[in-house]
Amino acid sequence: MSGIFRRVRDITLASLNEHLDRAEDPIQLIDQFLMRTQQEINESERLYKQYVMHANQMKQQMNQAVELRDRREQQALIALKANEEYAAKLALQEKLMHEEKAQHYTELYNRTKDSILELEQQLHTLKGEFQTVYDKRQLYIARMQTIRLQQRMNERTNHFGGNQTDGMFRRLDDRVTDMEWETQSLNNIRHMNQNIQGSYEKEAQLQQEMQRLREKLNTPKE
């Protein structure tokens, strides 16, 4: 039975992670694994149906042999009671034949049931492997999609995000500051010129007053 259910695959679940580490396209490798596993599930299910049908046939043959065995034994008893020893022996011979058949069919039926149980376990394992890998595939795709969306968002942030806006306003602030400094410098120069001009005017006025006093001193008194 173990030879019937031995799976021949290039990749098993135990070695899938190792192959994924070396695969250029992990999704393609996972899909190949899922496809082969699904094929095995389909083959095992077909075999399971055949085994169930075979088991039913063996059970039917076994029950029929048991029924004939019991019937021939009853016939032998009736013949023996009727003192028909020859008929009783014939009935017993058929009884032994059907008893042997019943034993053979019972043995075949039990072996078939064991094979069915083993095949059910095989199917359970295969379907579990398939579901496990399928769920990991979906999770992997979701994670990759999240990464791609995050990368796109980062690209947009780099082009239009706060860093660029901050840089733009820093340049604008620097320009306004320069303009304010130039304006303040011009105002300072104007104030200096006004102060200097005012000093010149006061000095000229002072000289005029001094000259007036000198002239007044030099003017003879009458």
Q: Cα separation of 16 and 33, whole Å?
A: 8
Q: Cα separation of 210 and 198, whole Å?
A: 18
| Alpha-carbon torsion (161, 167, 170, 174), positive or negative | negative
Burial of 44 (0-12, 13-18, 19+ CB in 10 A): buried
Q: Cα separation of 141 and 35, whole Å?
A: 17
Residue pair 55/109 in contact (Cβ under 8 Å)? The answer is yes
Instruction: Please report the pLDDT score of residue 2 as a whole number.
Output: 43
Structure tokens at 63: 């029950």
Q: Give the side-chain half-sphere CA count within 13 A for 83.
A: 0
**Distances from the Cα of 99 to the Cα of 58, 71, 112, 150, angstroms:** 15, 11, 20, 76
Domain borders along the chain are 2-153, 166-216
Instruction: Please report the pLDDT score of residue 8 as a whole number.
Output: 44
Instruction: Please report the pLDDT score of residue 186 as a whole number.
Output: 67
Residues 6 or more apart whose CB falls under 8 angstroms from that of 120 comprise: 48
Q: Cα separation of 197 and 103, whole Å?
A: 138
Q: pLDDT 10s digit of each residue in the chain, 222 long?
A: 444 444 445 556 666 666 666 667 778 888 888 998 999 999 999 999 999 999 999 999 999 999 999 999 999 999 999 999 999 999 999 999 999 999 999 999 999 999 999 999 999 999 999 999 899 889 988 988 898 898 888 887 766 655 555 665 677 677 777 777 777 766 666 666 566 566 656 677 777 777 777 777 777 655
Q: Cα separation of 68 and 202, whole Å?
A: 151
Residue pair 115/58 in contact (Cβ under 8 Å)? The answer is no
Q: Cα separation of 1 and 120, whole Å?
A: 13
